[in-house]
Structure 1
């Protein structure tokens, strides 16, 4: 993957999330995906989500809590099979999504959150 591929991926990823269409979002994730996020622990009681069905459960609950969810990409980096998407969420909080891909699908991801804007 090169930076142009990573940029295209990030634009599509943000558009999928901003659509609030969970099927559209999940289409980019492998069945055996592992995702880690401190936010997940507050939503589903664990910070590590394993498998696409569990990811659907987490994100269904998360979207219900955040009806105004919106991501604005602020930067993209790439390293071999991994894309880092820096963005601001609907609250203005800085977030980085680190996504490792296999055959074009996310197999491993983590969300890393910056400080909450004052």
Structure 2
């Protein structure tokens, strides 16, 4: 992926997140995509942090938006690799996070992971208890 294309992808991704538009974020994902996150493991322990398919990803993100009403991201930088994009961003609490997204031939995310600098990712994400 060319860096200009990756930056456009990241801008659409962050715009959708900042609008709390889950379907807008999911438009970047294949129907059978999987996504892993230590926050998902903390909020939805039955998933062990791995969400399979758009419905599961949507359900997790809906919980996150509900518990983090002031959710907002700012892209710090974007990195590319072979069929890969990494979006380095700062969340509403000031924490640095990376989304590592593997893209299929159609340009949609087939696999993704949220990565954090600390073990208690939910706390640094500002998740309010449910």
For normalisation by structure 1, the TM-score amounts to: 0.94
User: Contact 2:76–2:88 (CA<8 Å) still a contact in 1?
Assistant: yes
Task: Mark the runs of 5 or more structure 1 residues left unpaired by the alignment.
Answer: none
Residue 70 of structure 2 aligns to a residue in which SS?
A: coil
User: What is the CA deviation profile of residues 13-52 of structure 1, one whole-angstrom value per residue up to 9, with x for unaligned ones?
Assistant: 1101001011111111111111110000111112111111
- Give structure 1 regions of 4+ aligned residues with deviation exceeding 4 angstroms: none
Q: C-alpha separation between the residues in 1 aligned to 2:13 and 2:24?
A: 9
Task: Mark the runs of 5 or more structure 2 residues left unpaired by the alignment.
Answer: 119-123, 125-130
Residue 80 of structure 2 aligns to a residue in which SS?
A: strand
1:109 corresponds to: 112
1:23 corresponds to: 23
For these two proteins, the number of residue pairs brought into alignment is 116
1:12 corresponds to: 12
User: Contact 1:2–1:80 (CA<8 Å) still a contact in 2?
Assistant: no
Aligned alpha-carbon RMSD (Å):
1.0
Where is the strand percentage greater, Structure 1 or Structure 2? Answer: 1
Q: C-alpha separation between the residues in 2 aligned to 1:26 and 1:3?
A: 21
User: Contact 2:35–2:112 (CA<8 Å) still a contact in 1?
Assistant: yes
